[in-house]
Amino acid sequence: MLLEVEGLCVNYGHIEAIRDISFGLEEGKVATLIGANGAGKTTTLKAISGLRKVREGSVRFDGKDITTVEPYERVKLGISQAPEGRRCFAGMSVRENLDMGAYVRKDRKTPAYREDLDRVFSLFPRLEERISQSAGTMSGGEQQMLAIGRALMARPRLVLLDEPSMGLAPKLIQQIFAIIREINEQGTTVLLVEQNAAQALKVAGTAHILETGEIVRSGTGAELAGDDSVRAAYLGGDV
């Protein structure tokens, strides 16, 4: 397993946000966490990336216990995140945002860096067209592309995507999920948090349903998409 989460518990003050969560993710695969608002999906990603302190349990990456490792060190190990709400650097250009994604890299003057930049531009041609534009003046869809591209510039083995379709038009949602598939096909492992359960289950090999801070159901994306109770609760009866 590339990622192993075991007995994870995270609090916000006295409130348990997630409790006793356990799951694994094989390298080269896509997994998704689905559930209602407040179920603990984003908190789980924050615990994996190091942005939220773990009360109990452990996070292992490629066999190494990283539960107490600083977030920037996790990026160096190969974990990168496109956060909820995009959080681009609004006053900086597209190129500067992408360079910030590669901040921990030591090879920014090598051909390998240029190759990764070209990879982002091949996935998101619009970013190359807007390379000198300030991120804050871009559309929501363009900012989402930039957030994912910025995460990829760290050359991650595992990329965490938090609500990549939030606030986007249906046509853009289709495009974003097609790109998630392509990112995975290029060899990057993906852990996806997404309220658009229908799309998430189509792209994910494995899926976990969170309710009030606990995993209540796990299976393949196809299995959960075909389950009547899951369809009724999260898919509106249809995929």
* Domain spans of the chain, in order of start: 1-78+156-239, 88-155
Give the model's pLDDT for residue 238: 47
Q: Give per-residue pLDDT as tens, 48-71.
A: 999 999 999 999 999 999 999 999
CA 227/CA 216 separation, integer angstroms: 14
Q: Quick one: how many helices (H) and strands (E) in the chain?
A: 10, 10
The residue type of 142 is E
Would the pLDDT of 239 be above 60? no
Distance separating alpha carbons of residues 189 and 126, to the nearest angstrom: 24
Q: What is the mean pLDDT of the chain?
A: 92
What's the average model confidence in pLDDT over 7-16? Answer: 94
What pLDDT is recorded for position 112?
Answer: 85
Q: How far apart (Å, rounded) are the C-alpha atoms in residues 170 and 174?
A: 6
Q: Name the pLDDT band for 104 (thresholds 50, 70, 90).
A: confident
Tokens for 182? 């392509």
pLDDT beyond 80 at 109: no
Closest by alpha carbon to 151, among 127, 174, 173? 127
| Per-residue pLDDT, 236 | 66
Angle at 212 between CA 169 and CA 83, to 5 degrees: 40
CATH fold group of domain 1-78+156-239: Rossmann fold (3.40.50)
Q: How confident is the model at residue 201 (pLDDT cuts 50, 70, 90)?
A: very high
